[in-house]
Amino acid sequence: MAEKGARAQLEPVARQMYIEGQSLTAIAEALQVSRNTLTDWKARTKAPNDDRDEWDKAREMKRGFEQRLEAIRENIMNEIEESALVSIKQVSPAMFDSLSKVDALLDRNRKAARDAQDTIAKQRGEMFLQFIKDLIEYGGKHDEAITAAIQDNFDDLIQWGREKYAA
């Protein structure tokens, strides 16, 4: 489980993961918090007399934006294809320009999603390393065997952490 008081660090990560389409169960597992905690964080963003919270609104906006862009791109492509069937000269430069701009928006949106996932992975890795540091500190104060075990198995422990937390 995540440490008590980690809300300030974890809540924005959880929100972004939710907006990107992950389930609360998957987020809870990835961030080592309870699903009830996530539900509470999510509920705190709901305004009185509103049927949806801010997490759901942001998720719907993201989906809606991407879907609209994909539909616009599809319409432009259909128009270009229809014009090209008559004659390639019928395809106006403005159509290609529009297509290029929509593709750039889609690429930027997809890059932002990838960057968000990279940030989440980095934060999970940092949390794991902080846990290892805390464990070493605890071992140094209370049980030298813990510190010795970490030292003896450090490479395996780091590899395990990469597989579990950076994925």
Instruction: Please tell me the pTM assigned to this model.
Output: 0.48
Please list, in sequence order, all residues whose beta carbon lies within 8 angstroms of the beta carbon of residue 27, skipping any fewer than 6 positions away: 14, 17, 18, 33, 38
DSSP annotation of 20: T
b or e along 103-114 (b: 16 or more beta carbons within 10 Å of the residue's beta carbon)? eeebeeeeeebe
The residue with greater pLDDT, 58 or 126, is: 58
Average of pLDDT values for 35-58? 91
Residue 113 has pLDDT above 80, yes or no: no
Residue 139 has pLDDT above 80, yes or no: yes
Average of pLDDT values for 64-89? 83
pLDDT at 54: 93
